[in-house]
Amino acid sequence: MVAERVKLVIPSKIRELSERAKKIENVISLGIGEPDFDTPVHIKEAAKKALDQGLTHYTENQGMFKVRKAISDRYMRLFSAEAHPQNILLTAGAYEAVYLAFMALLNKGDEVLIPDPIFLCYENDAYMSESVPVRFPLHEENNFRPSQDEILERVNQKTKMLVLNYPSNPTGGVLEKNDYKMIADICEDHNLYLLSDDTYEEIVFDGYQPDCFLNHYDKTIITNSFSKNYAMTGWRVGFVVAEKEMLTPMLRIHQYAVSCLNTPALEGTYTALTDSQQCVSDMVKEYERRRNLIVKGLNNLPGVSCINPKGTFYCFANITETGMTSREFSDFMLDNAKVVVVPGDAFGDRGEGFIRCSFATDYAKIEEALIRMEKALKSF
């Protein structure tokens, strides 16, 4: 028999679309959120050197100290935030980091506040931890930022955690300065854990500078990854930052589920953190160029509108004026334009009427995809 908690877990619509698209020739994917850049050469060389030097053995369960120290230094450099090495746990990507937070800190029946639309791993982790996901809506007219009233309406004595993911996957929305204090105040007033998944915090545009919840609230759990900003998706290196009383139970689960991370991958990560950050700047600059292209192109399509995302490499386009549902639009584009876009309802009920387009793909392919989409819609 399959465990009841697993029956609630929702398969990924993004992966489903990707598998379907593989069977169609000449497809352009604006679906999966993976940088098309190769991992920078100096990072790969560091991992190769580690292999040649025989650095192929176990590391500490919590993660190689020098990497945790480099992460600590990064938080001070970027945010003037204190993230001590002893409060950092290296994980198998941000996925494991989020999973550990849910499994270690929530009991059966505890309620977790989760934005809608949002990337659905958080809701699935709630099901696996036997906690209860409670959605609060994000609105396009508010640039997909959280509303104080919408959150407070859903807080009760069972509420134990609030989850945020900014810059946001799927919307590309970001928090304004006053949002950080508003969220921190809610969590403090109601003694909630605050889980902030900051995976895209360095992929931001138009001069936007994110803040860090570590500067605002003690019961903050930061989850993060090197996958996006360093194009290291396959390396599977992420981390958690949290105070000891929260981190210790996460480490207990981690040491029996994963033990420790891949040693050469950690050597590459250390180089990524401590060497020049020009590679990150260069990739973000190119993402911004692609962002400008795709947003302009989407806004020129019949029945489609798209606000300008200030972060991530996603835009969340409104397709309600086409008369199609999100899934109908996604299927229509795959069948008639050979372009993969993700239906917005893959990210929650509030995503209906939208599609997510990734611009983590080649500029010329985005141009071609927009031409195909326009032709398909004009013949619709």
pLDDT digits (tens, 9 = 90+) for 111-162: 999 999 999 899 999 999 999 999 999 999 999 999 999 999 999 999 999 9
Please report, for the chain, the start and end positions of each structural domain, with discontinuous segments joined by +: 4-39+279-378, 41-274
Tell me the three state secondary structure of residue 197. Answer: strand
The domain 4-39+279-378: what is its CATH number?
A: 3.90.1150.10
Provide the CATH topology of domain 41-274.
Answer: Aspartate Aminotransferase; domain 2 (3.40.640)
* Other Cβ atoms closer than 10 A to 105: 22
Amino acid identity for residue 89 in this structure? L
Strand ranges inside the chain, DSSP E: 28-29, 88-91, 111-116, 132-137, 159-164, 193-197, 220-225, 238-241, 305-306, 314-318, 339-340, 342-343, 354-358
Please, is 132 exposed, middle or buried when counting C-beta atoms within 10 Å of its C-beta (0-12, 13-18, 19+)? middle
Token digits for 174?
Answer: 């970001």
Instruction: Give the whole-angstrom CA distance, residue 83 versus residue 65.
Output: 13
Q: Are strands 193-197 and 159-164 parallel, antiparallel or unpaired?
A: parallel
What does the angle CA 183 – CA 113 – CA 86 come to, to the nearest 5 degrees? 65
Q: Which helix (H) or strand (E) holds 74?
A: helix 65-79
Q: How distant, in Å, are the alpha carbons of 222, 335, 378 from that of 303?
A: 38, 19, 10
pLDDT of 333 reads: 96
pLDDT at 1 over 80: no
- Sequence-separated (6 or more) residues with CB below 8 Å from residue 7: none
pLDDT at 5 over 90: no
Task: Name which of 343, 339, 291 is nearest 312 in CA terms.
Answer: 291
Task: Name which of 235, 257, 282, 311 is nearest 67 in CA terms.
Answer: 235
Mean pLDDT of the chain: 95
pLDDT digits (tens, 9 = 90+) for 343-377: 999 999 999 999 999 999 999 999 999 999 999 99
pTM greater than 0.85: yes
DSSP letters, 306-350, are: E---SBTTEEEEE-GGGT--HHHHHHHHHHHT-EE-EEGGGG-GG
pLDDT digits (tens, 9 = 90+) for 22-36: 777 899 999 888 999
